[in-house]
Amino acid sequence: MKVIIVGGVAGGASCAARLRRLDERVEILMVERGPYVSYANCGLPYYVGGIIEKESSLLVADANTFRSQFAVDVRTGCEAVGISPDKKTIDLRNVATGEVTTESYDKLVLSPGAPSVRPPLPGIDLPGIFQLRTVPDARAIREWIEQGSLFLSGMDRYSGFQTVRPKTRAVVVGGGFIGLETAENLVHRRFEVTLVEMLDQVLAPLDPEMARLIEAYVEQHGMRLALNDGVAGFKPAANGAVDVLTKSGKTYPADIVILALGVRPDTVLAKKAGLTIGDLGGIRVDDQMRTSHPDIFAVGDAFEVRDFVTGEWSLIALAGPANRQGRIAADVIAGRESRFRGSQGTSIIGLFNGAAAWTGASEKTLNRIGDTDFEKIYLYPNSHAGYYPGAKPIAMKVLFRKSDGRLLGAQALGEDNVDKRVSALAMALQMGATVYDLEEAELCYAPQFGSAKDPVNFAGMVAADVLRGDMPLSHWDSAEKAFLLDVRDPVELAVEQAPGAVNIPLGQLRAHLGELPRDREILVICRSGQRAYSATRILLQKGFKARTLAGGMLSRAQVETFWEN
């Protein structure tokens, strides 16, 4: 059997390696348009920032490794330009010479990825404007940064030497994870960085109130954000700089511009071959990675996946799913019964000393599809036992089914061990766990690592309290009409007050019950929701109608007070 794989990075390379491990007899040809296979595109922003010093570190396995260890015929600088599914042939063009040859296949795997979106804006091809997808892209950015301005700004008055104005201003267009990661790395390289984003938030998969925390954090670390503003075009400016013009009429001068406007599935070949393309513009496959043609498979960023939670078609460009899909395609070609479970979009981004991570559905996705059978909680547990040095709060939002407690999604951010909480939640979600399972999860604990009630347990306990009726819950959007009871200590009110709330600190509540109404619902507030829960329990047991305000003052976008901890 002869298998041809188009695209030699995440999905393609993992497919080739897995297929060889499963079958020594199969003939494998992997073609890659670019100069490298199996490179670490996830590391590119850190190469730009200089954290990864050597370009060679990005090359995880080179073509020779594939040839010698896996007996894969690797052709770099080789572009697939046409497929004849009926004849089972593929046309390959040598990028250097232009020569086109035709190869036959028994099975074909497409893993062409998703190139960066590059809209035809005026001036987009000016020098100094870059995108970041490949090693040559990253190299070009580093060279531009390190060589100084190409344009000389004149003679120094005193020394008579020519002076070069250093590059100091960067504009990053797009607030997704590639844009933010690259922006952070440019901050590390001492650029004044402005990030321009068309939406009213960064990191679109997050719900806006969680994104606000990240926005405040990156601003505290020196990044400027221009949200709600799209780029309209670019104009050359003095000394080789570029003026970035936005739709709101603003101009941002820049010595370097990074375009990170998202990615779009590469379906050029798939369309030529007549394969079915989905409504979102990705190649359609079944759960065994088979396209509409039984001998052609597609993996990675180029195809539409089923969202694991909502069941909707979705475009998810992530390295983990691409690698798993590559393995599954190899399994199926080798005669195994593997199936892809759909993608949860589990992601993490590191920013300065912190991280934001998420898995599963967001509240806005559930709202968009009209799903009303869900509840949300906010919690702000410490990353490990508060008495052990270095504990940091984690802001968590967890979504679950009201009807059966099934976990639907989670978002978390903070400066310590966010990843392990979201990874645990991601695994739980994939296993169909409920919030009752999270309550019972037995997780690692010693004071430097966690708490006897780990944040994951804690999330389960809070959510289960809500579902069992022990903690009726409310949210800020219904706070206006209710009787608000603030159970924080008076000293905390100096930082911020809940408008219109009556303050009775938790410790004094039992003595002041006579001051509270019995004919109205009482909404109980504290800083994070924990004391409000205790107060709610007192009130409910004393016959009051009471609800805890989820996440307390912190869920009211108290961004500064969260990060101050």
Ligand X SMILES: Cc1cc2nc3c(=O)[nH]c(=O)nc-3n(C[C@H](O)[C@H](O)[C@H](O)COP(=O)(O)OP(=O)(O)OC[C@H]3O[C@@H](n4cnc5c(N)ncnc54)[C@H](O)[C@@H]3O)c2cc1C
Which residues in this chain contact ligand X in the complex, by CB under 6 A?
Answer: 6-7, 9-12, 31-34, 41-42, 44-45, 79-80, 111-113, 132-133, 178, 266, 269, 300-302, 317-320, 322
Q: Is 83 in a helix, a strand, or coil?
A: strand
**Residue 33: what are its φ and ψ, rounded to 5°?**
-65, -40
| CB 418, min distance to ligand X, A | 14
| CB 401, min distance to ligand X, A | 27
Tokens of 233: 């075009």
Strand partners, 2: 27
- Using alpha carbons, select from 234, 230, 224 the residue that is nearest to residue 254: 234
Strand partners, 483: 522
526 is catalytic: yes
Paired sense of beta strands 72-76 and 78-84, if any: unpaired
If the CB atoms of residues 404 and 419 are measured against ligand X, the closer one turns out to be 419
If the CB atoms of residues 174 and 551 are measured against ligand X, the closer one turns out to be 174
What ranges in 113-249 are assigned the alpha helix state H?
A: 135-146, 177-188, 208-220
| CB 278, min distance to ligand X, A | 16
- Using alpha carbons, select from 372, 353, 130 the residue that is nearest to residue 242: 130
Q: How far apart are the first and last CA of the chain?
A: 60
From CA 298, how far away is CA 564, in angstroms rounded? 47
The CA–CA distances, whole Å, from 384 to 248, 334, 418, 445 equal 45, 46, 11, 9
The CA–CA distances, whole Å, from 518 to 481, 502, 544, 546 equal 15, 15, 6, 10
If the CB atoms of residues 299 and 396 are measured against ligand X, the closer one turns out to be 299
Residue with the closest Cβ to ligand X?
300
**Residue 15: what are its φ and ψ, rounded to 5°?**
-65, -45
If the CB atoms of residues 324 and 527 are measured against ligand X, the closer one turns out to be 324
Q: Residues 560, 216: contact at Cβ < 8 Å?
A: yes
Paired sense of beta strands 256-259 and 169-173, if any: parallel
Tokens of 496: 């911020």
If the CB atoms of residues 9 and 482 are measured against ligand X, the closer one turns out to be 9
| CB 223, min distance to ligand X, A | 18
| CB 233, min distance to ligand X, A | 24
From CA 507, how far away is CA 505, in angstroms rounded? 6
- Using alpha carbons, select from 518, 526, 524 the residue that is nearest to residue 544: 518
Torsion of CA 317, 321, 326, 331, to 10 degrees: -150
Q: Residues 380, 224: contact at Cβ < 8 Å?
A: no
| CB 437, min distance to ligand X, A | 26
From CA 44, how far away is CA 321, in angstroms rounded? 19
If the CB atoms of residues 41 and 362 are measured against ligand X, the closer one turns out to be 41
If the CB atoms of residues 281 and 507 are measured against ligand X, the closer one turns out to be 281
| CB 518, min distance to ligand X, A | 54
If the CB atoms of residues 43 and 123 are measured against ligand X, the closer one turns out to be 43
The CA–CA distances, whole Å, from 369 to 139, 203, 319 equal 42, 20, 26
| CB 66, min distance to ligand X, A | 14
Which of 15, 78, 444, 526 is flagged as catalytic? 526
Residues marked active site are found at 526
